[in-house]
Structure 1
Amino acid sequence: MQSGQSSAGPVGRGAKVRAAVHAATLAELVDKGYAALTVENVAQRAGVHKTTVYRRWKDRESLLVDALAEHMAMDIPVPDTGAIETDLGALARSLVQAFTGATGQAVLAAMFTGAAHLPEIAAARRHVFEDRLVRAEPVVTRAVERGELPADTDPAELLKTLAAPIYLRLLVTADPVDETTADLAVHVTLAAARAGALRAASRLPEQTTS
């Protein structure tokens, strides 16, 4: 692959180029879907030459993975309201808002249908969700420190429980997803956590057989 000439694109260099190309990738995904996504169209939309894109990403798959990972990592901020119920409510509502808009729907379609067969997408999906869990864990640890949750609550299990009913509706049942969905997820998650059902696996009670 040729290195190409230095681009004099209007978006500048470095971080600005990366941001512009990421934004263009998501915009193309929304407008045309994964099947019609091309590096050439992304470059044109971003205002750079395609060789500028190829210097940073070897193909459209690596470009898509990078854009999706960046979008997913930055799209939902981690709240610190001072109470676990409002923290989880903010997380759940942000998740709903992120995936019910046009961009969110296109991201889900790419990650779970259109490009789901690609090993790079599967790896990116795992990385993105693992990263999101790690970033949101302070919400749970702060609640434990405040005495709002049992001391042995597993942050990852709690956050998975919060997200599960939302993703079920988004990806499986196609039921409506709105703030009521988010509020119900919070209610169920807190009930389970306070009942001790979301403890670390090593501390869960052993099942007995009759």
Structure 2
Amino acid sequence: MDDRQRVRRRPGGRSARVSAAVHQAVTDLVGERGYGSFTVGDVAARAGVADSSIYRRWGNLETLLTDVALTRLAARSPMPDTGSLVGDLRTYAANVAREITGPEGLAVLRLAIALTGNDQQGLQARDDFLAERTRFLESMLDRARERGEHPPDALDLLDHVMAPMYIRVLFGAGPLTPEYVDGLVDRLLRAQPGPEVERP
């Protein structure tokens, strides 16, 4: 079984509980010590499992770290459907802000960034995450088009709404207040061609 098959396997029952405990241990250790400052043994001890369980499921520490980053970053709330583009985007951005400012948000962001510069597996993890996130956004934007609205491209949404929030969290550049997050969405929509978008 290769590394990517290991990462994608999602057994249930006891294996699911072990996986959840190991993922939580990795997230906690990244938050406490930073990337590259712990071993499989440290993860196993924190999770209360044997080293062999981790090696058997993930093969090595890098595969485990990639799995944690992908799983935590891909976790999401249901796609908002408020009936308007501005409502959907504001709700979506608020959900992302809540996720990345939560107790584990900064640790997971730092882990994802460290992995993308590490090796081909990390780059693949980055590409998989971006592809998944883009598909998710496109479903919301397609619905707006069906209503006759003029949504931005998914990459514009990433560049002008998601990226500024990530930067603020990573560098401690300021809080993600509701006013700040709504302002990112409003500035993006004002820059879009087409009829003026009505604001609530």
* Structures share fold, TM-score greater than 0.5: yes
- Cα deviation for residue 85 of structure 1 reads 1.2
Q: Aligned equivalents of 1:63 and 1:167: distance in 2?
A: 23
Q: Which of structure 1's runs of 4+ aligned residues deviate more than 6 A? A: none
1:186 aligned to 2:181?
Answer: no
Q: Aligned equivalents of 1:126 and 1:172: distance in 2?
A: 23
Q: Provide the residue aligned with 1:117 in structure 2.
A: 117
Q: Provide the residue aligned with 2:34 in structure 1.
A: 33
| Equivalent residues of 2:58, 2:64 under 8 A apart | yes
Q: Aligned equivalents of 1:52 and 1:125: distance in 2?
A: 26
| CA 23–171 in structure 1, closer or farther in 2 if over 3 Å, else same | closer
- Cα deviation for residue 71 of structure 1 reads 0.5
Structure 1 residue ranges without an equivalent (≥5): 1-10, 197-210
| CA 173–17 in structure 1, closer or farther in 2 if over 3 Å, else same | closer
Q: Aligned equivalents of 2:147 and 2:158: distance in 1?
A: 18
Q: Provide the residue aligned with 1:90 in structure 2.
A: 91
Q: Provide the residue aligned with 1:203 in structure 2.
A: none
- Cα deviation for residue 55 of structure 1 reads 0.5
Q: Provide the residue aligned with 1:3 in structure 2.
A: none
Structure 1 residues 101-158: Cα deviation after superposition (integer angstroms, max 9, x where no partner) = 331111122222x4453123333223212211111211111111111226xx534434
| CA 77–32 in structure 1, closer or farther in 2 if over 3 Å, else same | farther
Which amino acid letter does the alignment assign opposite residue 95 of structure 2?
S
TM-score (norm 2): 0.78
- Cα deviation for residue 47 of structure 1 reads 2.2
- Cα deviation for residue 172 of structure 1 reads 6.1
Which amino acid letter does the alignment assign opposite residue 117 of structure 1?
G
* Structural RMSD (CA): 2.5
Q: Aligned equivalents of 1:158 and 1:101: distance in 2?
A: 22
| CA 164–34 in structure 1, closer or farther in 2 if over 3 Å, else same | closer
TM-score (norm 1): 0.75
Q: Aligned equivalents of 1:178 and 1:99: distance in 2?
A: 13
| CA 12–173 in structure 1, closer or farther in 2 if over 3 Å, else same | closer
- Cα deviation for residue 74 of structure 1 reads 0.9
From the CA coordinates, give the structure whose radius of gyration is larger. Answer: 1
Which sits farther off after the overlay, 70-79 or 160-169? 160-169
Which amino acid letter does the alignment assign opposite residue 16 of structure 1?
R
Q: Aligned equivalents of 2:50 and 2:77: distance in 1?
A: 31
Q: Aligned equivalents of 1:55 and 1:185: distance in 2?
A: 44
| Equivalent residues of 1:158, 1:193 under 8 A apart | no
Q: Provide the residue aligned with 1:79 in structure 2.
A: 80
- Cα deviation for residue 175 of structure 1 reads 3.5
Which amino acid letter does the alignment assign opposite residue 189 of structure 2?
L
Q: Aligned equivalents of 1:170 and 1:79: distance in 2?
A: 23
- Report SS of the residue matched to 1:34: coil
Which amino acid letter does the alignment assign opposite residue 154 of structure 1?
D
